[in-house]
């Protein structure tokens, strides 16, 4: 037996017990006649003590040979520490070691195994198995495990069945790029890895399974942004005989359960907002509503006063930052630079200070009198001491830029407390997006999303304004997931395919099995998928999903630890009936 206890469990009540621990050498303090070693395992750290006067020479000398991250087994007696460490759960005791066994030596790690490591991103990715020894990453994976357990507990209690769908499926050109897998047994043909189990979960509804879920890997061969991974995990769900309201209630219940079970937090009832409202008041389809600071449109108020920037603008819109009238020139310049950054994209920033003495001072005093500025202050319901910030230009770009500015002001004012949660359903998304390059409509959600019932008549006549029966779960400005009521009627599905530019043949070739299935008694159904990596990051209070994945890939889609992707042999290529392009 390698151990009688873990390194996290011994207490003063275990005093005098003879114990055996195994673990990694975290820290060594050698004071000549005494050596202390912090021994670490998954469960904690326990201090070992070797005293020259009490320990055999053999054991004492062996202790002196140890280095950081050596794997050892130590036996001895639990004793009370002279100087206790109240920060450690095992801090009242130490082990007076009388037997020591080196289970494995360790080379000096290329970076320190501490909460804050001295290793850069790259070297830590290469030695991920060492990085994973660090407490913060360990806590992240423990959190992930816990959330998965609670997701299953809740959905099982609601009679959902977890059903595994295939990973070797079929490539479809709609949506993001597929990873494909050449078939050896079917020369020249390919499987694809699923971007989501969408069609399979719908087939499970046709098959009568009623409430399905799966915590499932999905794959997208996209150019990677900082926060994207080629493989990621979804909590994928689908229900039959439901309307939107049933689904929102069910998964609001899931989110509430998770926050309560994992964090002990009651996040309250989810707000609801339409996509149009979200764009109008927050310039984003995933607004952070932990704070107000809503957009106010100024078009009517500000036009026709010879200020060309506003006169030419499609949209003039602003926010009111409470208590910021004392912002200095420097602070205002910084905000102007912030909105002009290419990622934000505004041309400039107009401000109005509603000073504490009741006067108004703006960057556009030349064009607007104090009486006029007073009217601005009124529409913003600004108080003395507030600062009004206004952007102008093309509608979409200006909304996007003001959204960024609003979030920045939220940060500056400490309104985005990571311990506060403001959950929200955004509903009624547009069904289609027009793409100028290809001159066709794309599905904003996916081609299986149902339009809202009252818009079905508009499909031919007013396509751009058809609303989808779709919804997103947004918490603190992060899109945790989304879904929709699906089409369950083959002729409506065919009509949507046509609107998306599919020929009948293409629709049949790619989704014939689904259209067929709809002919044999498909029930009304809908569902949603939550991004599991992102959900974990949100629970952990950070943005980086990579820190919640045991073995992530880098921005080029490489696993630098195992050095993959890699070359394969000529024999393998031959068997698969493929050649590399020169």
Among 5, 40, 62, 534, binds its own copies (CB under 8 A): 40
489 binds its own copies (CB under 8 A): yes
Stretch that binds its own copies, among 228-236, 267-275, 408-416, 464-472 (CB under 8 A): 228-236
Q: Where are the alpha helices (DSSP H) in 303-449?
A: 308-311, 329-340, 370-379, 395-412
Neighbours of 574 (CB within 10 A): 11
Instruction: Count residues binding its own copies (CB under 8 A).
Output: 122
Omega before 565 within 30 of 0, i.e. cis: yes
Helix (H) or strand (E) holding 433: strand 432-435
Task: State yes or no: residue 556 binds its own copies (CB under 8 A).
Answer: yes
Binder among 136, 175, 182, 385 for its own copies (CB under 8 A):
182
479 beta partners: 474
**What does each C-alpha distance from 457 to 110, 452, 460, 465, 497 come to in angstroms?**
65, 10, 7, 11, 16
The residue from 207, 265, 309, 413 that contacts its own copies (CB under 8 A) is 207
By beta-carbon proximity to its own copies, the closer residue of 230 and 410 is 230
Reduced to 3 states, what is the DSSP secondary structure of residue 217?
Answer: strand
Question: CB of 201: closest distance to its own copies in angstroms?
Answer: 10
Q: Is 27 in the site for its own copies (CB under 8 A)?
A: no
Residue 104 as a binder of its own copies (CB under 8 A): the answer is: yes
Query: What distance in Å separates the CA atoms of residue 196 and residue 221, rounded to the nearest whole number?
Result: 13
> Could you say whether residue 453 binds its own copies (CB under 8 A)?
no
558 binds its own copies (CB under 8 A): yes
Using rule CB under 8 A, residue 332 touches its own copies: no
Cβ count within 10 A of residue 31: 8
Nearest-angstrom CA–CA distance, 322 and 112: 44
Interface stretch with its own copies, choices 196-204, 286-294, 403-411, 496-504 (CB under 8 A) = 196-204
Quick check: 57 binds its own copies (CB under 8 A)?
no
Among positions 18, 33, 227, 241, the unique one binding its own copies when judged by CB under 8 A: 241
DSSP summary character for residue 546: G
Q: What's 428's DSSP letter? A: -
Q: Tell me the C-alpha distance between 143 and 135, whole Å.
A: 12
Whether the CB-CB separation of 443 and 461 falls below 8 Å is answered with no
**Residue 74 makes contact with its own copies by CB under 8 A:** no
Which of these segments, 170-178, 331-339, 413-421, 539-547, binds its own copies (CB under 8 A)?
A: 170-178
| Binding of residue 70 to its own copies (CB under 8 A) | yes
Residue choice 158, 171, 274, 544 for contact with its own copies (CB under 8 A): 171
Q: Contact, 548 vs 138, CB < 8 A?
A: no
Cβ 120 to its own copies, closest distance in Å? 17
* Residue 132 found at the interface with its own copies (CB under 8 A): yes
Cβ-based nearer residue to its own copies, 144 or 256: 144
Distances (CA, A) of 245 to 63, 276, 369, 488, 582: 65, 19, 50, 18, 55
Q: Any contact of residue 504 with its own copies (CB under 8 A)?
A: no
Closest approach of Cβ 101 to its own copies, in Å? 11
């Amino acid at each position: 037996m390698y151990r009688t206890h873990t390194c996290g469990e011994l207490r003063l009540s275990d005093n005098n017990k003879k114990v055996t621990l195994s673990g990694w050498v975290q820290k060594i303090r050698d004071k000549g006649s005494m050596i202390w070693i912090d021994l670490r395992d998954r469960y904690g750290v326990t201090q070992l003590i070797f005293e020259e006067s009490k320990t055999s020479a053999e054991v004492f000398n062996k202790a002196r040979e140890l280095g950081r991250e050596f794997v050892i087994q130590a036996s001895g007696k639990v004793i009370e520490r002279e100087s206790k460490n109240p920060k450690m759960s095992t801090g009242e005791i130490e082990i007076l070691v009388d037997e020591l066994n080196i289970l494995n030596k360790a080379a000096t790690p290329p970076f320190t195994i501490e909460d804050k490591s001295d290793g850069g991103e790259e070297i830590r990715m290469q030695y991920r198995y060492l990085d994973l020894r660090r407490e913060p990453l360990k806590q992240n994976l423990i959190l992930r495990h816990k959330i998965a357990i609670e997701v299953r507990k809740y959905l099982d209690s609601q009679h959902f069945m977890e059903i595994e769908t295939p990973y070797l499926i079929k490539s479809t050109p709609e949506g993001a790029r597929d990873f494909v897998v050449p078939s050896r047994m079917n020369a020249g043909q390919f499987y694809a890895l699923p971007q989501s189990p969408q069609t399979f979960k719908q087939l499970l509804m046709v098959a009568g399974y009623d409430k399905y879920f799966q915590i499932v890997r999905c794959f997208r061969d996209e150019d990677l942004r900082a926060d994207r991974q080629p493989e990621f995990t979804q909590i994928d769900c689908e229900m039959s005989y439901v309307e939107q309201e049933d689904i929102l209630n069910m998964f609001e219940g899931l989110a509430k359960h998770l926050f309560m079970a994992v964090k002990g937090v009651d996040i309250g009832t989810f707000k609801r907002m339409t996509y149009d409202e979200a764009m109008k008041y927050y310039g984003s389809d995933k607004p952070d509503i932990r704070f107000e600071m809503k957009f106010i449109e100024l078009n009517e108020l500000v036009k026709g006063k010879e200020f060309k920037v506003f006169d030419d603008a499609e949209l003039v819109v602003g926010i009111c930052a409470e208590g910021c009238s004392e912002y200095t020139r420097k602070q205002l310049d910084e905000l102007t630079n912030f909105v002009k950054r290419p990622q934000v994209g505004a041309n400039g920033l107009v401000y109005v200070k509603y000073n504490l003495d009741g006067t108004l001072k703006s960057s556009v005093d030349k064009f607007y009198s104090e009486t006029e500025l007073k009217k601005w202050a009124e529409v913003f319901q600004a108080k003395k001491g507030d600062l009004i910030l206004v952007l102008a230009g093309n509608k979409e770009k200006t909304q996007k830029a003001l959204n960024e500015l609003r979030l920045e002001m939220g940060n500056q004012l400490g309104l985005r407390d990571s311990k506060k949660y403001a959950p929200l359903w955004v509903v009624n998304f547009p069904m289609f997006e027009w793409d100028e390059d290809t001159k066709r409509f794309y599905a904003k959600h996916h081609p299986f999303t149902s339009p809202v019932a009252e818009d079905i008549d508009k499909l031919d006549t007013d396509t751009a304004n058809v609303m989808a029966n779709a919804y997103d779960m947004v918490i603190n400005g992060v899109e945790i997931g989304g879904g929709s009521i699906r089409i369950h009627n083959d002729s409506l599905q065919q009509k949507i395919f046509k609107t998306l530019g599919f020929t009948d043949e293409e629709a049949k070739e790619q989704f014939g099995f689904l259209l067929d299935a709809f002919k044999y008694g498909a029930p009304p159904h809908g569902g949603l998928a939550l991004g599991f990596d992102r959900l974990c990051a949100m629970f952990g209070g950070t943005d980086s999903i990579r820190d919640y994945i045991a073995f992530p890939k880098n921005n080029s889609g490489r696993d630098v630890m195992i050095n993959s992707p890699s070359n394969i042999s000529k024999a393998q290529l031959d068997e698969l009936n493929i050649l590399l392009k020169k």
